[in-house]
Amino acid sequence: MALIVHKYGGTSLADVKLIRRCAERIAADHQAGHRIVVVVSAMAGETDRLLGLARLLSSRPAKRELDAALAAGEQASIGLIAIALNEMGVAARSYNGAQLPIRTSGVHGKARIAEVGTQTLAAALDAGVVPVVAGFQGVDDKGSITTLGRGGSDTTAVAVAAALAADECRIYTDVEGVYTTDPRVVPEARLLPCITFEEMLELSSMGSKVLQIRAVELAGKRRIPLRVLPSYGAGNGTLITYEESSMETPPVSGIAFVRDEAEITVVGMPETMDAAARILKPIAEAHIEVDMIVQNTAREGRLDFTFTVHRGDCDAALEILDRELRPLGVADIAGNRQVAKISIVGLGIRSHAGIAATLFSTLSRAGIAVKLIATSEIKISVLVDEDHLETGVRCLHEAYGLAEG
């Protein structure tokens, strides 16, 4: 008899039929004797609808009030889920962020959870009631409603699981779980029954939008067994684990990729200056995130410096650099919007020799030029021409034998 947190996102609650399906799933686990706490997002489209109304009223909506308006989304869904559960004979009660309470910092729109009140939840569970908790929202010291930012419901679910020392936190989504790579690109992609926390972090940060990275980080910090699984069907999804399963670990677990990258190169930067800082500081001040960074060895007092940004930030970055660096007499500042990033992720990378060699020889045989390389303990990323992305991912998926598991 376990204590399990179920979390359902907006697409799993898009209409009455789907809400009922979620309720059936909750009811089944409840009737099997488990203690269930449910965390839900707003119904699909609801947050965007409210945000749209707010933006029509103000180009910069007052942040406290925007949080108040957005909180309506989960307020509705907790009530509706609880209604569906009661209809099925499962005693259920809804709780919004203020009712538990879920105490957060006062940074509206980006609040951080400080504490989840467990008294109300524990009393409900002891009484055989299924608590249905509003994700995404909390309350600050002044009693104002706060929101955690996009995808914050995952974080709420993990925080609730941590506060209750739950046996498992299940994030129900519209995918089967975590795959060795995107099945739309590689049909042989295999569902991973489990993945380590570190690997999941790398995959999340790579834009595999299965789980919010904040939620993964929080789960890791509190060592919450976290499972991603489909809200339809019967699959067991992917369990995120905190221990390496020794020798059986395959060297590479999965292949992630990001399509919308852009590469910026500064040619002929004077070597005597702190080149990297001169280039990256104004970029950071414009709140543009930089991903891969490569600095070439200097020749004749000049060096070339290359980095990548989100494609949407490319123009802004080029403009900034043009303003800041042209006066210093750099030879050229060039942007390339036709690039994409492929990463191999796996705990084995740090211990298995030859992983990197396989990567480069595979891409070379496929006629794919590697433009940039970045390495971490458990990840190797390469930047390639956008046109080569899918071929590269397929070749690497095969080279590492990921389809066989």
Residue 99 within binding range of its own copies, rule CB under 8 A: yes
Give the separation between CA 337 and CA 259, rounded to whole angstroms. 10
**Residue of the chain from 14, 76, 280, 370 that contacts its own copies (CB under 8 A):** 76
Letters for 229-248 (x = contact with its own copies by CB under 8 A, - = none) are --------------------
Residue 143 within binding range of its own copies, rule CB under 8 A: yes
Residue 94 within binding range of its own copies, rule CB under 8 A: yes
Q: What are the two backbone dihedrals, phi and then psi, of residue 387, each rounded to the nearest 5 degrees?
A: -60, -25
Letters for 18-37 (x = contact with its own copies by CB under 8 A, - = none) are -xx--x--------------
DSSP of 345-405: E-GGGGT-TTHHHHHHHHHHHTT----EEEEETTEEEEEEEGGGHHHHHHHHHHHTTTTT-
Nearer to its own copies among residue 79 and residue 225 (C-beta): 79
Decide: helix, strand or coil at residue 196: strand
Residue 384 within binding range of its own copies, rule CB under 8 A: no
Q: What are the two backbone dihedrals, phi and then psi, of residue 229, each rounded to the nearest 5 degrees?
A: -150, 165
Residue indicated by tokens 């397929």: 394
Residue 96 within binding range of its own copies, rule CB under 8 A: yes
DSSP one-letter code for 312 = G
Give the separation between CA 80 and CA 83, rounded to whole angstroms. 5
Give the separation between CA 283 and CA 57, rounded to whole angstroms. 32
Q: How far is the CB of 37 from its own copies (least distance, A)?
A: 16
Residue 346 within binding range of its own copies, rule CB under 8 A: no
Are the beta carbons of 242 and 220 closer than 8 angstroms? Answer: yes
Q: How many amino acids of this chain bind its own copies (CB under 8 A)?
A: 41
Residue 83 within binding range of its own copies, rule CB under 8 A: yes
Nearer to its own copies among residue 23 and residue 37 (C-beta): 23
| Residues of span 44-63 touching its own copies by CB under 8 A | 50, 53-54, 56-58, 61-62
Q: How far is the CB of 20 from its own copies (least distance, A)?
A: 7
Nearer to its own copies among residue 140 and residue 313 (C-beta): 140
DSSP of 25-93: HHHHHHHTT-EEEEEE-PPTTHHHHHHHHHHHH-SS--HHHHHHHHHHHHHHHHHHHHHHHHHTT--EE
**Residue of the chain from 21, 64, 112, 302 that contacts its own copies (CB under 8 A):** 64
Q: How far is the CB of 25 from its own copies (least distance, A)?
A: 15
Q: Which residues contact 37 (CB under 8 A, 6 or more apart)?
A: 3, 4, 5, 6, 121, 125, 130, 131, 133, 160, 161, 164, 166
Give the separation between CA 92 and CA 125, rounded to whole angstroms. 10
Give the separation between CA 184 and CA 305, rounded to whole angstroms. 34
Give the separation between CA 128 and CA 388, rounded to whole angstroms. 55
Residue 98 within binding range of its own copies, rule CB under 8 A: yes
Q: How far is the CB of 89 from its own copies (least distance, A)?
A: 11
Residues forming beta bridges with residue 131, ordered by sequence position = 93
Q: How far is the CB of 45 from its own copies (least distance, A)?
A: 13
Q: How far is the CB of 49 from its own copies (least distance, A)?
A: 9
Q: How far is the CB of 395 from its own copies (least distance, A)?
A: 48
Nearer to its own copies among residue 147 and residue 196 (C-beta): 147
Give the separation between CA 251 and CA 348, rounded to whole angstroms. 4
Nearer to its own copies among residue 19 and residue 325 (C-beta): 19
**Residue of the chain from 29, 67, 261, 291 that contacts its own copies (CB under 8 A):** 67
Residues forming contacts to its own copies in the complex (CB under 8 A) are 16, 19-20, 23, 50, 53-54, 56-58, 61-62, 64-73, 75-76, 78-80, 82-84, 86-87, 92-94, 96, 98-99, 143-145
